[in-house]
Amino acid sequence: MKIEFLGTGGAITIPRPLCHCDVCLEARNKGVPFSRMGPSIFVHGPNLLIDTPEDIYHQINRSTISDVKGVIYSHWHPDHVMGRRIIESLSADWIHHPPQNKKIDVYLPEQVDIDFKTFLGSSDHLNFFESQGYANINQLKDGESLFLNNTKIFPFRLAEDYVYAFIIENDNKKVLIATDELNNWKPHKDVIGVDLAILPVGIFEFHPLNGERLLPEDHPVFKEEATFTETLEIVKALNAKHVILTHIEEVNGLSFNEFKELEKKLKSSGINVEFAYDTQLVNV
């Protein structure tokens, strides 16, 4: 099993359009790994695409992906779903008549399926793809797993219960992928000690290198998002063999090089984590 980080940004990607801060200027001038597109991950083996941000076309074109067997969604937020038209681009046959469309399987965990009927027109859009022969829509009830190419994928709800994380198992390897929203989550026994844990980095209340406060103490984001400090507590509780943090927001204001420096600082304190970058490939 191999994991490819297609996009490691968050709701605000790097560079942010029209932004001229140091982080965005560097990203605009140097590109990857300083730049970050929207949040998406591909799992080679089952060939499963997790989430489709707006820039998923560009992400796939620069990737090592040769085939997409399935698409699964973690939750309904725009930065995770608004590139869903990639399903049509990957599947539709515009040459033959009658068309010989590929038909990609799209998997919707129970609450995602419910929310897609309410938010952003997602359900209508996916139903259109199915009616045109581009996709098969599969609803997954809570507690159900799916199997792709001898790989088991088990979605489960986080504490913010409209969001799902995934346990992926193949060849005696177990991977946890949580793309977003760790607020108030406590790891359960099924994910303790996984071979690889992929988690969102969280919000930086303080600059992790110099201690400067970055957001006011009463900022409303703290009611909705886990802080970086809280994420590290989850990392400690998970006791995973390998941890990679992603969903890195532009508003955090840290450059790629600062994250590399932070990796060293954390490792010296006994916390072995890595910060993901776009196009990164990881063998499990």
Query: What is the per-residue pLDDT across 134-191, written as a single tens digit (0 to 9) for each?
Result: 999 999 999 999 999 999 999 999 999 999 999 999 989 999 999 999 999 999 999 9
Please, which residues bridge with residue 70 across strands?
48, 105
Q: What is the pLDDT of residue 224?
A: 86
CA atoms within 13 A on the CB side of 77: 17
Q: How many CB atoms lie within 10 A of CB 265?
A: 11
Mean pLDDT of 45-72: 97
b/e for 175-213, b at 16 or more Cβ within 10 A?
bbbbbbbbbebebeeebeebbbbbbbbbbbbeebeeeee
Nearby residues of 164 by Cβ (< 8 Å), 6 or more positions away: 74, 75, 109, 111, 112, 155, 156, 157, 158
Q: What is the pLDDT of residue 189?
A: 94
Q: What is the pLDDT of residue 214?
A: 87
Q: What is the pLDDT of residue 61?
A: 97
Mean pLDDT of 58-70: 97
Q: Which amino acid is at 150?
A: N
Question: Between the ranges 209-213, 222-226, 239-243, where is the mean pLDDT highest?
Answer: 239-243
pLDDT tops 90 at residue 223: no
For the domain bounded by 2-277, which CATH number is listed?
3.60.15.10
Q: What is the pLDDT of residue 18?
A: 97
Percent of the residues in the chain that have a pLDDT greater than 90, as a whole number: 94
pTM of the predicted structure, to 2 decimals = 0.96
- What's the mean per-residue pLDDT of the chain? 96
Q: What is the pLDDT of residue 70?
A: 97
- Contact yes or no for 43/168 (Cβ under 8 A): yes
Nearest to 117 by CA among 73, 176, 148: 73
- Contact yes or no for 57/88 (Cβ under 8 A): no
